[in-house]
Chains A and B, each alone.
Chain A
Amino acid sequence: ETGVTQTPRHLVMGMTNKKSLKCEQHLGHNAMYWYKQSAKKPLELMFVYNFKEQTENNSVPSRFSPECPNSSHLFLHLHTLQPEDSALYLCASSQDSDRGNYGYTFGSGTRLTVV
Chain B
Amino acid sequence: AQSVTQLDSHVSVSEGTPVLLRCNYSSSYSPSLFWYVQHPNKGLQLLLKYTSAATLVKGINGFEAEFKKSETSFHLTKPSAHMSDAAEYFCVVSGGTGGFKTIFGAGTRLFVKA
Contact = CB atoms under 8 A, between A and B. Distances in A.
Interface stretch (B15-23, B69-77, B93-101): B93-101
Contacts of A92: 43-44
B43 A106 contact: yes
Contacts, number: 52
A42 B106 contact: yes
B9 to A, nearest CB: 9
Contacts of B52: 101
Given A100-B95, A101-B32, A111 B41 contact: yes
Nearest to A43: B104
Interface range on chain A: under 10, 10 to 19, 20 to 34, or 35 or more?
Answer: 20 to 34
B43 A100 contact: no
Interface residues of B, number: 24
Nearest to A98: B97
A106 B49 CA distance: 15
Q: Which 6 A-B pairs have the closest CB atoms?
A: A100-B94, A106-B43, A101-B32, A101-B51, A43-B104, A106-B44
Interface of B: 32, 34, 36, 41-46, 49, 51-52, 90, 94-98, 100, 102, 104-107
Interface of A: 2, 4, 6, 42-43, 45, 90, 92, 98-101, 103-109, 111
